[in-house]
Structure 1
Amino acid sequence: MYENKVDVVAGGALMTEDGYAVVLHVDRAGVELRDSRHRVSFVEWPDLGRLAPIEGGAPAGVAALRSFAEEWNRFNAETAAEAMFRLGIVNETLTAFRFGHPELALPGEPSPLFDPALEPSLAERARRMAERLSHEAATSRSGTSRGPYSTRTVQLWVERWTKDGLLGLVDGRRAKRFELFATLPLKFRQAAHKEVAAFDGDVSTVNLREIQRRIKVRLKDDGFTGSVPQRAAGRFVAHLMRSRGTTTRAQKSNKARQVAGRESYAALVPGQVVAIDVTRSDVLVWCPVRGGACSVEIISAMDVASRMILALRVVPLSADARDAALLMYDVMRPFSQLVEGTTVSDWAWAGVPQEIEFYSDTADADPDCSGVEVVCPRSCRRVRTAPGLQGEHTIPGVRPSAVRADHGSIFVSQVFRELLARFGTDLPLSRTRRPIDNGILERYHETLQRGLQQLPGYKGRDTSECGRTVGRDGSKRDGALLTAPELERFLRRWIALDYHRSPHDGLHLSTGEPVDLRPIDMFDALLSISGRLHVPQRPDLIYDFLPVRWGTVGSTGVELSGLTYDSPEFDGLRAVPVGTFRAQDAAMPFLYDPHDVTRIWFRHPATSAIVQVPWRKAHLTKAPLTESLLQHVRGEVRRRQRGPRLPVTVAEDEIIAELGNLLDGIIPKDWRKRISAARQRYDTSRRDHTEAEVAMTVAEIVAEQRKTEPAPAPAPHGGDTFSIWADSWPFTPPEPDRGDGA
């Protein structure tokens, strides 16, 4: 797992173009080095690489300058070992240390024969080294000792090292077979690497000629006066750019891979990690409020272990923290879809009005495997899914142990973090500017195109794929475009009947056996390992996902965000003593939906039932009243020159002052967009709360019936499956009025 790990510590060795360098200091930005020429320099971490193992030289895993390592790793082991042998001779001749530094001294060093303090003459030290090498070659019995050696040979090595560093000690005949750009000076190649390294996806890519010009400027600033072969230089720069990436997107991908993990995430249990993300829908939808086509976003949740899509919602631009919270609400709810002939139902909540737990233990109860608050006698290790299209298709619900997301504002918001903390769910965020960390969902967004391309209004992934007439003459009345709720129903249908039933390339058996696995197959396999999945189901589950606001109930109700709410249910709670709900005051917690501020909710302390409290003036409005519209109106009031109070003739005065006569009136486009998004969120919120209200009503009816009637026998079903059905479900909520007359 750590075979590519390189340790860099103070006092250790690091390879440069001159040989060994000593690490003086290590910090978070890079390392400070002193080479064998006694020059001190600072190197940043991205400029370091890993050196290949060298026989008789540097040990495996020694770090090196990236520009040097890329050149050095081109040589074979024999060529590299010979150059390292010569480097040791040069270092000992010049410094009396084989590695060139007192900090890296071997036993018996410094050698008195080559100590510059005892023998200042370099020629004499070279003569002594040649004699010792010749003696070692003559007495060697291995037959592999190099030689013969002369004083001139040692002096020549010293001269080559002084001029070209370690690469100058490489045998020219050997280097030609392995160095593709041997005619280029080392200084040019180093300058080319530095210039090309600047293209990391954040800066615009330029042509090769401009890159070569920048390299020439860098060489001139460094004082380089040598000649550079133009053809070889062009080929070398082109080679570097191909490796770096010819487009900014490729450059970003290559940069991300440098810090990417080497193994897949070890998610072995369904619900262990759920990945969530938002993407722009590549299909235009019809907006009845605006009377034209508009764009929406798709927010999805995927079980990392099985690749099952647990939840999906179509939301307006742009998704907010409340949309992310509702997605987690869907993640914890099991759904079921029924196919009868050519009729396909929408996802129906299949977990209420009773609390359901998924079991795979053995017991002597419930021989029919109803799965409702009992322990199943058989191995319940399958999600109820029809073998073909006809029948029931289940979307399981899980309680995630962790949710993985990027650094989007909706995922790092306080609302979303508090929601996950309420359920004890961790939030391991991706690293900033590293989309590959959540690559599973990024790849799913590409797969989603297979479903979106079936729809009218498809506009492609970018401008190069978008047609000229997309969304121009498509209207809901003509049936050319889907509305946002219809798009959501289609995508849910496509996930259950297509995506979950298609082989997934990312799913494999641990044995390596070539078997095509579908997400539904992997979920069943992992379910048999995990044993049981605890999924709490209550009719009022949605209220656990609403943000909490604190307010004090008075004689006229409670005021939140400038709106007053009142209800007869407040009787007995209008003058509670301080400390009843929290220590510092007499305020009580209220559940607040930012997408529908015409009402609030609270859990009654006596009955624990959810109570709805309407806005006192809710009956006066028919338009959606959301928090965003309130903030917009307040912002407009703050920008008015005359303040919040206006005279009766303010409009007439402004018309006369600015126009002189009223000619025309135009509704601002920004206002229409706000109304459109607010209407869609308002309809979705109404649908969710209506579903919860009907569920609570059904639960009350069922509870009353069970008090007077014996419990009905659970309906048997065939096969080793586990059930997530409860009485009177699945429930299909009434379809909200889209406002388009359809």
Structure 2
Amino acid sequence: MSLRNRGVLRWGDQVRFEGVAYTVTGLSGVLVRLADPQGESRAVLLPQLMADSDFAILTGGASRLGSSLRGLDGFPDRVVEQARWWEHHLVEVISGLPPEASLDAVPRPDYDPTTHSLAEREAAKADELTRLGFKVSPRTLKRRRQRYETEGLVGLVDRRVSSGTGPGAGNADPRLVEAIGQVLSEAKSASTRTVAFALWRTGEILREKYGEGIVPMPSRATFYRLFELLSQGQHVAGTARARKSLASRPEGPFDMLTVCRPGEVVEIDSTPLDVLVLLPDGVPGRVEMTGMVDLATRTITAAVLRPTTKSVDASLLLAKTVTPEPMRPGWTEALRMSRSVLPHQRLLTLDERLAGAAAKPVIVPEVIVCDHGKAFISQNFRSACRMLGIDFQPAHEGTPTDKPHIERTLGSVASMFAQFVSGYVGRSSEHRGDVDEKRLWSLLELQELLDEWIVAKWQNRKHDELRDPATPGRAFSPNEKYAALVEASGYVPVALTSNDYIELLPATWRAVNSYGIRISRRTYDCPELNPFRRQRSGVAARKNLWEIHHDPYDVSRIWVRNHWDGGGWITVGWTHLRSAPMPFGEMAWDHARQQLPDQGRASTEEEIAEAVAALLRKASAGPEGSRDDGKLTRRDRRVAARTKATSSRNRLPLPEPPTTPPEETAAEDDHTLAKVIPLGVFDPFEEAKKRW
């Protein structure tokens, strides 16, 4: 009997106590509940049971069938019978004897635990079942054995076969249901296919596991109904993106991260913006939007547009987050921080730059959560976080649920802003219309519109996640939540100094020439560069060039490090700044924009709503003069452009002004034809004489 003593007492085990064979029906602490063959039960303390001189564990799991039948309620009889059949073979693999074996029975040679390991017994059982016509691999047998040891008899039944509530499979063969489950598992990361492929793949799985014709396939209509029932909510015939998103969701209820102060946790991510823009070379193209959102206030601390997000863009985004958002020319006065709910007077004592700031709070992150994009895990971005004392926390790979707030925020920007912009292409090719004739904004102009929309719309919009726990009927805007948390948590943001901001900007190395410095075909110059023109910087590692930092989103100025005198910064302006609509696009230099009256009164929701409406109307109309009114086709515009270019090179002299007054000329135009001047005949001999 010693070979049957497994050393662990579990429910369903058969034990001998006081000369009677009992079945363990329950375990609770040191209390063991036993049932005799007649069904009578008794409770015994575990020390008393173990101290009995006749005590022995006879079989492990021999009586699990009877004790686990309550878990099989609702299953078809054929399914229960199939589970019993599997239990008969698995118990022999585990203990060496089948469940119905007598007390004096001995194991068969291939299943003796004293001479064969568990893996060898599983292999022997797999060979035996295959010879009987049930093709099964040792690996499959091992999985069933593990489920049986963990859950008992009910572990041998596919739960989807239940005929009770939920997506049951009725009287379907459990082997067929298991094969369909494997097909559904394979479809999570595969391309979208039809149900016809699932029908074929299911047949292949059944043939590989059990052999040809062992498990009958249902009719096509029956399989379609069963597949629809088992694949409910898995988007098998939908988009691959939806399936991957569902597969990456954690089991159980979603956890919620609790934050109590601004900047405690900030998430960053990038996504393509569904808008065509004019790139710097004049070619229409898509851009990426990289943004950061604060979990405590749902504030979009910064958002930038770039053709492709790079590490310097992520660092620049971090710099924009910790510096005040300046008011731009053309913005309505209702967007000033001084006229918002933000604690402007208190913050103004900490940073004088807030005097001209827009109504968006300055938030210094404590923890930044990002994915494994190259721009975010780069050494450049990590160094920027380390310089500011920010904890860098990458999310798990392929787990967007680790940063769901920025995922949803970027989606909201697409639905609330991008679709109002001229050149919107939709979220996919199926939703794209005719955008070839639309007027497109330049990259800098669209960046300006996005900045204004964040300040005007997003920061003043009531957010469902910003509700007062005591009065859940009231929702706060990001600006209101920031003001409330500042009062509650005593949060005091310490914004970057100007030198800190410049240090975070992208760097390049250039020579200081006689005309100044040229970056991206723009020339920058100022009198402060006079001592450094055509001079060496002294940095031999950089070929004696000068270190220059620039803001890709503000081309009005650059900063040159003074390597000769302590490494300070020299601000150098763009030479054509006064003649070109830069750096904030055409709208920044539109001084004819009508201002709101009564600039001194407090900002109201009506003013902000009007500003947002005007912004969306302008974004939808597109820039003035960028394209024609849409009456000409693309071919017409091409022909007109070529004709204009040709006529400009071969332009005839302008005619003499008329001698008659304009009124008389206009009156005669309807009756008098113009004088015809015939062309002379070309005479080569006369032309030859002129040369002499």
Alignment of 1:330-349 (within 5 A): 330-335=320-325, 337=327, 344=332
Q: How far does residue 411 in structure 1 lie from its aligned partner after superposition?
A: 1.4
1:186 maps to which residue?
174
2:349 maps to which residue?
372
Is 1:334–1:349's contact at 8 Å kept on the other side of the alignment?
Answer: no
Aligned-partner residue type, residue 214 of structure 1: R
Q: How far does residue 236 in structure 1 lie from its aligned partner after superposition?
A: 2.1
- Please state if 1:266 is matched with 2:235: no
Q: How far does residue 288 in structure 1 lie from its aligned partner after superposition?
A: 7.4
Could you tell me which of 453, 465, 487 is aligned with 2:419?
Answer: 453
2:234 maps to which residue?
244
Could you tell me which of 379, 383, 401 is aligned with 1:436?
Answer: 401
1:79 maps to which residue?
73
Could you tell me which of 273, 277, 294 is aligned with 1:285?
Answer: 277
CA-to-aligned-CA distance 1:38-97 (integer Å, 9 cap, x gap) = xxxxxxxxxxxxxxxx995999xxxxxxxxxxxxxx9975739999x9999999999999
Alignment partner of 1:271: what SS?
coil
Alignment partner of 1:282: what SS?
strand
2:105 maps to which residue?
116
1:402 maps to which residue?
367
Q: How far does residue 586 in structure 1 lie from its aligned partner after superposition?
A: 13
Could you tell me which of 270, 284, 294 is aligned with 1:303?
Answer: 294
2:194 maps to which residue?
207
Which whole-Å CA distance do the structure 1 matches of 2:349 and 2:408 have between them? 37
CA-to-aligned-CA distance 1:4-47 (integer Å, 9 cap, x gap) = xxxxxxx99999xxx99xxxxxxxxxxxxxxxxxxxxxxxxxxx
Which whole-Å CA distance do the structure 1 matches of 2:530 and 2:9 have between them? 79
Call closer, same or farther: CA 1:549–1:369 in 2, change over 3 Å.
Answer: closer
Q: How far does residue 433 in structure 1 lie from its aligned partner after superposition?
A: 2.3
Which whole-Å CA distance do the structure 2 matches of 1:312 and 1:204 have between them? 33
1:467 maps to which residue?
433
Aligned-partner residue type, residue 249 of structure 2: R
Is 1:337–1:348's contact at 8 Å kept on the other side of the alignment?
Answer: yes
Aligned-partner residue type, residue 453 of structure 1: Q
Which whole-Å CA distance do the structure 2 matches of 1:569 and 1:293 have between them? 42
Aligned length: 477
Is 1:96–1:112's contact at 8 Å kept on the other side of the alignment?
Answer: no
Aligned-partner residue type, residue 457 of structure 1: G
2:497 maps to which residue?
538
Aligned-partner residue type, residue 188 of structure 1: L
Which whole-Å CA distance do the structure 2 matches of 1:337 and 1:463 have between them? 37
| Structure possessing the higher relative contact order (Cα contacts under 8 Å, 6 or more residues apart) | 1
Aligned-partner residue type, residue 306 of structure 1: T
Q: How far does residue 593 in structure 1 lie from its aligned partner after superposition?
A: 4.7
Call closer, same or farther: CA 1:529–1:569 in 2, change over 3 Å.
Answer: farther
Aligned-partner residue type, residue 223 of structure 1: Y
Which whole-Å CA distance do the structure 1 matches of 2:288 and 2:87 have between them? 68
Call closer, same or farther: CA 1:549–1:313 in 2, change over 3 Å.
Answer: closer
Segment of structure 1 superposing worse, 526-535 or 191-200 = 526-535
Is 1:303–1:309's contact at 8 Å kept on the other side of the alignment?
Answer: yes
Aligned-partner residue type, residue 453 of structure 2: W
CA-to-aligned-CA distance 1:639-678 (integer Å, 9 cap, x gap) = xxxxxxxxxxxxxxxxxxxxxxxxxxxxxxxxxxxxxxxx
Call closer, same or farther: CA 1:545–1:111 in 2, change over 3 Å.
Answer: same
Alignment partner of 2:425: what SS?
coil
Q: How far does residue 434 in structure 1 lie from its aligned partner after superposition?
A: 2.4
Which whole-Å CA distance do the structure 2 matches of 1:203 and 1:221 have between them? 21
Which whole-Å CA distance do the structure 2 matches of 1:118 and 1:575 have between them? 89
TM-score if structure 2 supplies the norm length?
Answer: 0.54
Call closer, same or farther: CA 1:58–1:570 in 2, change over 3 Å.
Answer: farther
Is 1:272–1:402's contact at 8 Å kept on the other side of the alignment?
Answer: yes
Aligned-partner residue type, residue 432 of structure 1: E
Call closer, same or farther: CA 1:423–1:240 in 2, change over 3 Å.
Answer: same
1:155 maps to which residue?
none
Which whole-Å CA distance do the structure 2 matches of 1:594 and 1:370 have between them? 26
Call closer, same or farther: CA 1:612–1:740 in 2, change over 3 Å.
Answer: farther
Is 2:300–2:454's contact at 8 Å kept on the other side of the alignment?
Answer: yes
- Please state if 1:227 is matched with 2:216: yes
Aligned-partner residue type, residue 117 of structure 1: V
CA-to-aligned-CA distance 1:297-325 (integer Å, 9 cap, x gap) = 3222211211111112233x112222222
Q: Which runs of 5+ in 2 are unaligned?
A: 1-6, 14-23, 30-67, 110-147, 520-524, 589-599, 604-622, 628-692
Call closer, same or farther: CA 1:487–1:537 in 2, change over 3 Å.
Answer: same
Aligned-partner residue type, residue 235 of structure 1: R
1:320 maps to which residue?
310
Alignment partner of 2:560: what SS?
strand
Is 1:282–1:460's contact at 8 Å kept on the other side of the alignment?
Answer: yes
1:517 maps to which residue?
476
Is 1:278–1:300's contact at 8 Å kept on the other side of the alignment?
Answer: yes
More helix by share: 2
Aligned-partner residue type, residue 422 of structure 2: P
For the pair shown, which has the larger CA radius of gyration, 1 or 2?
2
Alignment partner of 1:457: what SS?
coil
2:117 maps to which residue?
none
Call closer, same or farther: CA 1:331–1:426 in 2, change over 3 Å.
Answer: same
CA-to-aligned-CA distance 1:404-463 (integer Å, 9 cap, x gap) = 222222112222222112112122122222233322122122221222222322221112
Which whole-Å CA distance do the structure 1 matches of 2:536 and 2:321 have between them? 37
The percentage of aligned residue pairs carrying the same residue is 21
Aligned-partner residue type, residue 79 of structure 1: D
Could you tell me which of 247, 253, 268 is aligned with 1:276?
Answer: 268
Is 1:546–1:591's contact at 8 Å kept on the other side of the alignment?
Answer: no
Is 1:415–1:547's contact at 8 Å kept on the other side of the alignment?
Answer: no
Q: How far does residue 398 in structure 1 lie from its aligned partner after superposition?
A: 1.8
Q: How far does residue 284 in structure 1 lie from its aligned partner after superposition?
A: 2.4
1:253 maps to which residue?
245
Alignment partner of 2:224: what SS?
helix
CA-to-aligned-CA distance 1:447-495 (integer Å, 9 cap, x gap) = 2122222232222111222112x1x233xxxxx4333233222222222
Alignment of 1:566-645 (within 5 A): 590=547, 592-593=549-550, 601-602=560-561, 609-611=568-570
Which whole-Å CA distance do the structure 2 matches of 1:199 and 1:589 have between them? 56
Aligned-partner residue type, residue 271 of structure 1: G
Alignment partner of 1:192: what SS?
helix
Alignment partner of 2:291: what SS?
strand
Which whole-Å CA distance do the structure 1 matches of 2:273 and 2:88 have between them? 70
Q: How far does residue 370 in structure 1 lie from its aligned partner after superposition?
A: 7.1
Alignment of 1:690-709 (within 5 A): none
Which whole-Å CA distance do the structure 2 matches of 1:514 and 1:348 have between them? 28
Aligned-partner residue type, residue 461 of structure 1: R
Call closer, same or farther: CA 1:741–1:311 in 2, change over 3 Å.
Answer: same
2:452 maps to which residue?
493
Which whole-Å CA distance do the structure 2 matches of 1:88 and 1:223 have between them? 17
Q: How far does residue 193 in structure 1 lie from its aligned partner after superposition?
A: 0.9
Which whole-Å CA distance do the structure 2 matches of 1:511 and 1:228 have between them? 58
TM-score if structure 1 supplies the norm length?
Answer: 0.50
Question: Cα RMSD between the aligned structures?
Answer: 6.2
Call closer, same or farther: CA 1:345–1:514 in 2, change over 3 Å.
Answer: closer
Call closer, same or farther: CA 1:608–1:532 in 2, change over 3 Å.
Answer: farther
Is 1:405–1:430's contact at 8 Å kept on the other side of the alignment?
Answer: yes
Aligned-partner residue type, residue 286 of structure 2: S
Which whole-Å CA distance do the structure 2 matches of 1:504 and 1:86 have between them? 56
